Structures are given as C-alpha cells and as structure tokens.
Amino acid sequence: MDSAEVINNEDGIETVENEDDIDFSEERELVSDSCSTKILDSESEPLDRYRLVYFLFYLFGITSLVPWNFLITANDYWMYKFRDVEPNNLTMYVRKTQFQAEFTSYLNVATAIPNLVFLILNSLYGHLVSVRSRLLGSLIVVTLSFIVTTSLVLVDTDEWQNTFFIVTMITVVIMTAASAIFISGLMGTASKFSREYMAAVISGQSLGGIIAAVAQIISLAFKISPLHSALIYFCIADFMVITSLISYAFLYKIDFFSHHVLRGNGMVVNRSREAYLTIVLKKVWVYAFSIFAVYAISMCVYPAVTVLVESHPATSGTDWNNIFFVPVVNYLIFNCGDYAGRLVAGFILGPTNQWVIAAASIFRVIGVPMLMFCNAQPRKHLPVIFLWDYEYIMIMIVFSFTNGYLTNIVMVNATRVVDMHEREKASSIIVTMLSVGLTAGAAIGMLLVRVL
C-alpha cells in the first residue's frame, strides 16, 4: 500500500496526500444535489428517519431477483404456451412437446450465462460508469423487459410458438444482464452502510422467492388458469420493479443515504483498477471461495433433483401429492428456510473467522447425497432411503437454512476485511463468485439427475 496513504481502519477515515490519484466523479454527481451539498456542510451524521433507507434496501433486495423468481415460478404458464396445439392430438396421454421438455433448461442457460458474464464485466469496467447511472439504467431495462413479458401473456401465440420462444429468450437474457448489473451495484452501495443494511438486501432477495412461491400456491388453490396465474405473477413483478425504480430515483434526496454514499465514514477514494483488484482479491479470496462452495453445492441438487422428489406413495391421488407437494416443499419451504437463515445470521453475525466459514461451506456437501436418497423419480441406480415426507422436509429445512445463513455471513464479513474505498469492488467479486457457483452447480446438477 502506498506510503503516502494513511488509513485508520477502526474509524474508517482515509486521507490521501496525492489528490491526483483520486477520482471524484461520483462525489461531483452527488454534490450537485442540494441535499448532498447540505450533507457536506454538516458535521453530524444524519439519521435514517422511520428506517426508510433500510426498508428501501429490503425492497431493492427483493427486486434484484424478481426475473428469476417470477419466471421460474410460472412453470404452468410456460407449459401452456408451449403445449401441443395440433387438433388431432386426442390421445389420453398427452406427451410433452420439445419446447415443454426443454424450456426450463433453456431458461437456466438464458439466466446463468448472461448473469455471470455481466457480473464479470461490471467487476472489470463498472468503475467507468457511476453507480447511480448503473442502478437506474438497469432498473429501467428490467422494467421495460418485464412489461414486454407481461404484455405477451394474453396474446395468442399458438401459431407462432417458435417466434414466441425466441422473443422470450431474448427478453430473459436482456433482463438477466440488467439484473446482474443492478445486483452488483446494489451490493457495493449497501457495503458503505452498517452491516444491517447489507443484511436487508440479502434477506430481501430470499423474501422475493417466498412472495413468488406464495403467489403460485394461491393460484393453484383457487385453480386459476395458467394465463391468469402468470398475469398475476408478472403484474406483481412489474409493480415491485416500478416501485424500486421510483424509490431509487428519489433516494439521493435522503440525507442519510447521501451521507453514506458520499463519505461512508470517510471520503471515498478510487484507485487505479489493476492494483485495486489485486489487493482486494488477496483480502477476500477465502470468502469468494466460500460463497462459490455454498451455491455450487446448493445448485447441484436444487432445483434439478429436488423438483423430482415425490410425496410418499401413501398420498397418491391426493391434492397434496398431485398439486401442492412440489410448490410447498421445493419452493416455499426452501425459500422460507433460506430467509430464516439470513435473518438469524443478521442478528448473530458469526462466525467471523474466514477459515471456519469456508469449512462450514464445504461441510454442506453432505446434503447432496441425502437429498438424492429422497424419493426423486424417475430413478434407475440409487435406492430410496428417505421415503417419508417429513424426512425430506427436515433435510430441506437444514439445507436451505445453512444456505441463507452462510450467504449472509460471507456477504457481510467480506466487506469488513477491506478498506472503505475497496468495499464496492469486494462486493462485486463476491457476487461474481456466487454466480460462478450457480453456473457450476447447475452443470453438475444435470449430471446428478442421470445418476439417480
């Protein structure tokens, strides 16, 4: 580290003698706001009145995963859109079309690859564009993309399924790319606040999955048609994204937010990208590995294997078996367990030792064979050891809880082992490795399904 720099990590205050090394572009953008000018003139730290900024971070966390949560949950809608529309198909057993059988796989690819690519690009070149512009721009793109998706719900696409599929995939790719930029910028912004604000973003992401799962279960309970069910999903998503867009546009008018983004606990300093990235990687590589392990292990079996798990044969023919088992256990219980883990971690904030966290992340791998030995069907090679529903549910609760708990612990601690001006880059690295874990886990999951 440059000898001309003096850093007090305990107070978070940084001073730099050579001001030519400082990029004040973000600060100038903020200072142009009258509220931000007032912040500069004030010595005291503003308060988060009514916890408004905290709740907005929660909302932004929910919004950050809206594309994935609501697109993957509307499975009945996609099956309806890509059904066999030939009038001569009068057989009792209707086979899935090629689009129906492969759509989820294509959706996973259309979300995983753009997410990873744009997280990496944002990590390397995001500093060239201000955080404010990146977040607002990405929210606008997500909003427009979801409006297009919603508008196609009630359009008869039976005669042009191929074109509809292509349009959907293009829209998903654009939406995912914008979401990746939004998530990375959001994590970087939250890292400039106290730990509870980062925890709010992380918990909000999990809460979004609960909202999507509950919406699906309600529609199934009332036997709503796939089209109207999807319309409900997507309208809820539109509302949340638009609300987030409007909220973020006015967020810089709040003194508390401007104070932390402009100064944090000291002046934000941007150094040359090469040295910056190298130094941060050395500090957070253990946390980066930990988040990779957490999500690679989770995605090995969720949802590729867990979506195949069936209820105990004794419940055959019941609504629980035919309708509610997968939505409740695979989506709702998993998301609730994940959310609970993130909430508990926000209070306990431990362990803090990076090697203990890494070991705990690896130890979760024991959940992979346990879930594979549940009643996932069809299977040809492995026996079923955990046949009863309560056994599968207990395994799922522990697996999901540890996923959420370790996610929160890694995200929060990774930004506390670096200096203030390095926190945004640290967050970007962690989020990128999370995406790498998702991609690797999804690839392994395709192989594990064949091992069953």
Which CATH number goes with the domain that contains 242?
A: 1.20.1250.20
Instruction: Please tell me the predicted confidence (pLDDT) of residue 107.
Output: 82
Which pair of tokens denotes residue 167?
A: 């349009």
Among 223-227, 333-337, 390-394, the minimum mean pLDDT is found in: 223-227
Q: Which of 229, 245, 266 is the last residue of a domain?
A: 266
Instruction: Please tell me the predicted confidence (pLDDT) of residue 17.
Output: 42
> Which domain covers residue 50, as residue numbers?
46-84+97-266
State how far Cα 64 lies from the chain centre. 6
Task: Answer yes or no: do 190 and 50 share one domain.
Answer: yes
* Chain segment 110-142, per-residue pLDDT in tens: 888 898 899 888 878 877 888 889 999 999 999
Q: Is the pLDDT of residue 13 over 80?
A: no
Task: Count up the domains in the chain and report the number.
Answer: 2
Please tell me whether residue 8 adopts helix, strand or coil conformation. Answer: strand
Q: Is the pLDDT of residue 333 over 70?
A: yes
Instruction: Please tell me the predicted confidence (pLDDT) of residue 354.
Output: 93
Q: Judge whether 452 and 376 are in contact, CB under 8 Å.
A: yes
Task: Answer yes or no: do 286 and 250 share one domain.
Answer: no
* Chain segment 384-441, per-residue pLDDT in tens: 999 999 999 999 999 999 999 999 999 889 988 888 778 878 888 898 899 899 888 8
Task: Answer yes or no: do 300 and 333 share one domain.
Answer: yes
Q: Is the pLDDT of residue 21 over 70?
A: no
Is pLDDT larger for residue 414 or for residue 92?
414
Residue written as token pair 């003698």 = 17
Average pLDDT, the chain: 82
Q: Is the pLDDT of residue 23 over 80?
A: no
- Tally: H helices and E strands in the chain: 19, 2
Predicted TM-score (pTM) of the model is: 0.78
Task: Answer yes or no: do 228 and 304 share one domain.
Answer: no
Nearest to 245 by CA among 145, 335, 328, 135: 135
Q: Is the pLDDT of residue 31 over 70?
A: no
Task: Answer yes or no: do 252 and 278 share one domain.
Answer: no
Angle at the Cα of 70 from the Cα atoms of 379 and 106, rounded to 5 degrees:
50
pLDDT class for 367, splitting at 50, 70, 90? very high
